[in-house]
Structure 1
Amino acid sequence: MAATIGDRENAQDSVRSRKTNVSESTMFTQLKTREPKAQENSSTRSFVLLALIFIGALVTLGIVYLNFPKLEEHEKQYIRLPRDIEDAKKLGNILSLYKEKYFYQVLGGVFITYIFLQSFAIPGSIFLSILSGFLFPFPLALFLVCLCSATGASFCYLLSYLVGRRLVQKYIPDRVADWQSHVNRHKEHLLNYLIFLRITPFLPNWFINIASPVIDVPLLPFFIGTFVGVAPPSFVAIQAGTTLHQLTSSGDAVSSTSIIILAILAVLSLLPVLFKKKLGAKFD
C-alpha cells in the first residue's frame, strides 16, 4: 500500500515537472520571438524620430530663406547648398551683393546652414568654410566656422545619443569597437586625442560625431576638442576662400605647405601628453 502511494506521488511530481519544463520552454520561446520584434520596433521609432527632427531642421532652413532679403529672379537659382566649387562661386557672388546692407541676415544664413550640414553629417561644409573666407573678415570667419563645426557636431552627437545608438551598434559595430579600444587607451588625455583626430584625416568627422556617444565620450571635451581641432584645417579653407574665384576645385584649397603645417600642428597637439607621461615616469 505504501509503495502504491509513493508511486502515485512520484508520478504526480513527474507530471508537474513536465508541465513546469513545458511552461518554461514556452516562455523562453515567447521571449525569443518578442526580442527581435522589440528591436525592430525600437529601430523603427528611431528612424521616425530622426525623420521628424530632420523635417523640423528643414523647416528652420525654410524660415531663414523666407526672411532673406528679396532676391531677383535670376539670383534665386543660385541660393542653394553648394555641391562643388562653381556652386560656391555663384552663391558667393550673390551673397556678397547683399552682405553690406544685410550683413546679419547673410551671417545668420551661413551659420544655420553650416550647423544643418554638420548636424546630419551632410557633405558640403567645406564649401561653406571656403565661402566664409570669401565673405567675412578672417578672424570672424575662423571663429564662425569653428563654432558652427563644434555646435553642429554636438547636435549630431546628441542625435546619435537619442536615436542612433542602436543603429550605430547594428550597422558599424566593428569600427565602433575598434575606436572604443583607442579611446580607452587615451582616456586620461581624451581632449588632446580628440583635437588630434580633428586635425588629422585618420577618422572621418561624421564617424567621430555619431560614434562618440555610443562609447561614452563626454559631451564637453567633445565640443572643446572639436572647436579647437577644426581650427587648423578651417584656417586652410578660409585662407583659400580669399582667392575663391581662382579656385577650380575644393582640392585647390589644400597645398603641400598646408599639409605640412597640419602635420606639425597634429604633433603639437600630442606634446602635452608626451610631457605628462615623461614627468609621470620621472616622479614614479
Structure 2
Amino acid sequence: MLASHWVLTVALYIVLYAASVALSVPGGAVLTLAGGFLFGWLWGGVAAVVGATLGAVIVYVATRSALRNLLLDRLEDTRLDRFRKGFGENAFSYLLFLRVVPVFPFWLVNLVPGPLGVSFRTYTLATLIGIIPGTFAFSIAGAGLDSVIAAQGARCAAEGMPRENCLHFDATSIFTPELIVGFIALGVLALVPVLVKRYRRRPY
C-alpha cells in the first residue's frame, strides 16, 4: 500500500511533521526515525528536513507578527539578552550554531529569531542547513530498523520457519550494516557540540 501511494504518503508525512513543529509538539526525533523506517534514509531524511523547515517557517511568520509582543514580554530578560547579542553579532552564524548544537530546545529557537528581527532569508537558510546533520543521523538509524526486520524475515524464510515464529527476534539480526551506520551517525552527532564549542574557543 505504501509503494502504491508513495508520493501521497510522503506528502502527508511532511504535513504532519510541519504541523508538529508549528505547534511545538515534542517528538521530532520519533517522527524522523519513522521517516527513515518508512521511506529509507535518503527520502526519509529529505522529507523530515522539508517538514521541519516548513514548520519552523510557520512559527517564524506567526512570531514576527501577531505574537511578537507577547513572546518578548514572556521571555526572561537574561535569556533574551543572550539571544539578542548573538543575533546582533552575526545572525546567520549564531542561528546555524543553535541549529547544529542543541544548546536550547528546537521549539525555543523557532520562537525567538522573528521577534528579534532576524530576516526571513537568514532564518530559513540557517534552519534548513543546520538541521540536516541531526535529521539524517536519525533517519539513517530509522532505516536501520527496517533492515533489522528484513534480515529477520530473510532468516525465517531461509530456515522455513512459520510466519508467527518470526515475531521472536534473533539477536544476531539486530546488527545489520544499516543499523550500525545509523548508530555511528548518531555517535558522531553527539560529538558535534563538543567539537563546535572547542572550535569557537580557538584564538584567531
* TM-score for both structures, normalised by structure 2: 0.72
CA–CA separation in structure 2 for the residues paired with 1:158 and 1:267? 32
In structure 2, list runs of 5 or more residues that go unmatched. Answer: 149-181
Asked if 2 retains the 8 angstrom alpha-carbon contact of 1:192 and 1:269, the reply is no
Residue 165 (structure 1) aligned with residue 93 (structure 2): no
Aligned with 1:234 (options 132, 135, 139): 135
Aligned with 2:105 (options 163, 181, 204): 204
Asked if 1 retains the 8 angstrom alpha-carbon contact of 2:37 and 2:139, the reply is yes
Aligned to 2:191: 263
CA–CA separation in structure 1 for the residues paired with 2:5 and 2:186? 33
Asked if 1 retains the 8 angstrom alpha-carbon contact of 2:92 and 2:126, the reply is yes
CA–CA separation in structure 1 for the residues paired with 2:58 and 2:201? 32
How far 1:235 moved relative to its partner?
A: 1.5
How far 1:117 moved relative to its partner?
A: 0.7
The one-letter amino acid of 2:128's match is F
CA–CA separation in structure 2 for the residues paired with 1:144 and 1:258? 19
Residues 72-96 of structure 1, C-alpha deviation per residue, up to 9 Å, x if partnerless? xxxxxxxxxxxxxxxxxxxxxxxxx
CA–CA separation in structure 1 for the residues paired with 2:138 and 2:106? 16
Aligned with 1:219 (options 120, 124, 128): 120
| Greater relative contact order, per chain length (Cα 8 Å cut-off, separation 6+) | 2
Number of equivalent positions:
171
Structure number with bigger Rg: 1
How far 1:216 moved relative to its partner?
A: 0.7
* TM-score for both structures, normalised by structure 1: 0.53
How far 1:258 moved relative to its partner?
A: 2.7
Aligned with 1:116 (options 8, 19, 32): 19
Asked if 2 retains the 8 angstrom alpha-carbon contact of 1:116 and 1:152, the reply is yes
Aligned with 1:180 (options 84, 87, 91): 84
Aligned to 1:128: 31
How far 1:119 moved relative to its partner?
A: 1.2
Asked if 2 retains the 8 angstrom alpha-carbon contact of 1:191 and 1:225, the reply is yes
Aligned with 2:93 (options 192, 207, 219): 192
CA 1:259–1:196 in 2, change beyond 3 Å: closer, same or farther? farther
Asked if 2 retains the 8 angstrom alpha-carbon contact of 1:192 and 1:270, the reply is no
How far 1:270 moved relative to its partner?
A: 9.8
User: Helix, strand or coil: the match of 1:99?
Assistant: coil
Residues 9-33 of structure 1, C-alpha deviation per residue, up to 9 Å, x if partnerless? xxxxxxxxxxxxxxxxxxxxxxxxx
CA 1:270–1:163 in 2, change beyond 3 Å: closer, same or farther? farther
How far 1:178 moved relative to its partner?
A: 2.3
Residue 144 (structure 1) aligned with residue 47 (structure 2): yes
Aligned to 1:46: none
CA 1:149–1:274 in 2, change beyond 3 Å: closer, same or farther? same
CA–CA separation in structure 1 for the residues paired with 2:102 and 2:10? 28
Superposition pairs of residues 18-97 of structure 1, within 5 angstroms: none
How far 1:226 moved relative to its partner?
A: 0.8
The one-letter amino acid of 2:26's match is P
CA–CA separation in structure 2 for the residues paired with 1:112 and 1:154? 13
CA 1:176–1:256 in 2, change beyond 3 Å: closer, same or farther? farther
Identity of aligned residues (%): 19
The one-letter amino acid of 1:105's match is L
Asked if 2 retains the 8 angstrom alpha-carbon contact of 1:150 and 1:224, the reply is no
- RMSD of aligned residue pairs (Cα, Å): 3.1
How far 1:260 moved relative to its partner?
A: 3.7
